[in-house]
Structure 1
Amino acid sequence: MHDISLDGSYNARGIGHRRRPWLVRSAGLDALTSGGERSLRDVGVDLVIDLREESEQAGRTHTIPVRSVPLYGAAPPSSGTLESVYAGLVRDRGSRLTAAVIAIAEHPGTAVVHCTAGKDRTGLVVALARLAAGDARAEVVADYAVSGETVRPQREAIAAAQLSGVTLSAAARAASERLHLDSPAEALESALDIVDELGGVAQYLRTHGATSGHVAALADRADAHAAIASGSVA
């Protein structure tokens, strides 16, 4: 993984080679400037996969094609623990998580995946895609954990405003702040443990609508981009 500086967004990283990643992840892109769009296009991005609900979306300033794959089917939770929210997504929204992974697998170019902060919904979808592509679990979890360092300073005031009108115990408030701002490794590990209980990543994706061809395409995409970037393929 490597950081990508985006004017108009944040928490952007490329997966794979620095100059030609096979997948990019980011926070929301609605306010992306022309310079930010150019930064994405310069690394090959030609599709945006937006995981947010329609109610979260604003007018877009960029011209990159967008494929909308909302995950929750309702407004995102504003309180609760990361582990419980992730467990709910993995157990109850597997078809939507898989639809997003299929969108990555079926796109012949490089997609950027985003939600609002680029850590939770994006973190789960990117983790599933990367693990299906053959990336090591430790690398995937380490990439996820980086998001908290970027998200907290960007969204601390927003989270405080969202929670200001909610009556919560001290423990519940701390859990909700963690939900909004942090990306601790153990949270993703807990979600991936559930996926393993359900048969592992490939089986999980196939159960929820992916084909073996989709799973193979992810590995092929990662390998092909690595070969192109290294210069071993003309």
Structure 2
Amino acid sequence: MSGITIDGTYNARWAILSPGVAPWLARTASLDSVSTAGATQIADLGFALVLDLREDGERALPVHGVPVTHVPLFRLPDGPPASGSLERLYEFLLVERAPQLTEAVAAIADSSGPVLVHCTAGKDRTGLVVALALLAAGHEETDVVADYALSAGVVRAERQAIAEATLLPMNLDAADHAASLRLHLDSPAEAMQHALRTLSALGGAEAFLIRNGLRAEQLQALRRSLGRPIDD
């Protein structure tokens, strides 16, 4: 089973598990409200690094003892987009924030042990970074999409009221409101499939990452850690 329990958060799981390979990459929602028991669970799971993809204004002081690498992805004056479509959001990150995505993947590659990646809900920023790492390590697109889609339902149950309150003062029409709720709450397979088509048009995961600064030895490290044998 890929699910893991961390008290005080949700949407926590190992990414794709490879037979015979120790778990290395996990994903979750924000760790800001993790309890003392949750902090102990994080330690017991053996994480060497927490990778936080949120903006400065979204973060609180860590309540666990694991080293944190902070790679904010959006870097927009008003913080993360609050409305719009998932597909446009992923296009923006892949096209306009390629160096930041690559920096995050490089942090995973450079870690001395298992990595726990998170943003706020653990589905969009986290989903793209985890997808890039898995694809670079040689995992199939269908498996990457399936891993992403596991957030469906979990996030909605936790954040429905928050999303509704965020959108209420924006006075969106029905179509934009529905799209924006989907942005906040859903992780449909077709959204990641759209992102992967965008990535393909940019040359694919490996070329994308190398072009934006990932080193060959970091690519090899991803393959060792995430389960793909290295070609001779």
After TM superposition, is the score higher than 0.5? yes
Matched AA of 2:161: A
Give 2:207's aligned residue. 203
**Structure 1 position 189, deviation (Å):** 0.8
Question: Identity, % of aligned pairs?
Answer: 49
Which residue of 2 is the match for residue 12 of structure 1? 12
Deviations 1:156-201 (CA, angstroms, capped at 9, x unpaired): 0000110010021100000000000000001011111111111111
Give the equivalent residue in structure 2 for 1:98: 102
Match of residue 64, structure 1, among 52, 66, 76: 66
For structure 2, the 5+ residue unaligned runs are none
State whether residues 20 and 44 of structure 1, in contact with CA within 8 Å, keep that contact through their aligned partners in structure 2.
Answer: no
The CA distance in 1 between the partners of 2:220 and 2:57, in whole Å, is 34
8 Å Cα contact 2:3-2:14 kept in structure 1: yes
Q: Tell me which amino acid in the other structure corresponds to 1:36.
A: G
The CA deviation at 1:17 is 6.3
Query: What amino acid sits opposite 2:146 in the alignment?
Result: A
Are 2:28 and 1:26 equivalent residues in the alignment? yes
Cα deviation code 1:64-119 (max 9, x no counterpart): 11110000002000000000010000000000000000000011201100000000
Retained in 1: the 8 A contact 2:91–2:195? yes
When normalised by structure 1's length, the TM-score is 0.92
Q: Deviations over 1:12-67 (max 9, x none)?
A: 01132699411010000011122212222222212100000000012322111111
What amino acid does structure 1 have at the position aligned with 2:175? A
Aligned residue number for residue 49 of structure 1: 51
Q: Does the 8 Å CA contact 2:42/2:64 hold for their aligned counterparts?
A: no
Aligned residue runs from structure 1 range 167-206, under 5 A: 167-206=171-210
Q: In structure 1, how many angstroms separate the alpha carbons of the residues matched to 2:125 and 2:71?
A: 11
2:75 is the counterpart of 1:73: yes
What CA distance in whole angstroms lies between the structure 2 residues aligned with 1:22 and 1:146? 18
Aligned to 1:147: 151
CA contact (8 A) 1:30 1:62 kept: no
Deviates more, 1:77-86 or 1:38-47: 38-47
Name the counterpart of 2:127. Answer: 123
SS at match of 1:24: strand
The letter for the 2-side match of 1:80 is G
Cα distance in 1 between the residues matched to 2:22 and 2:112:
14
Normalised by the length of structure 2, the TM-score is: 0.93
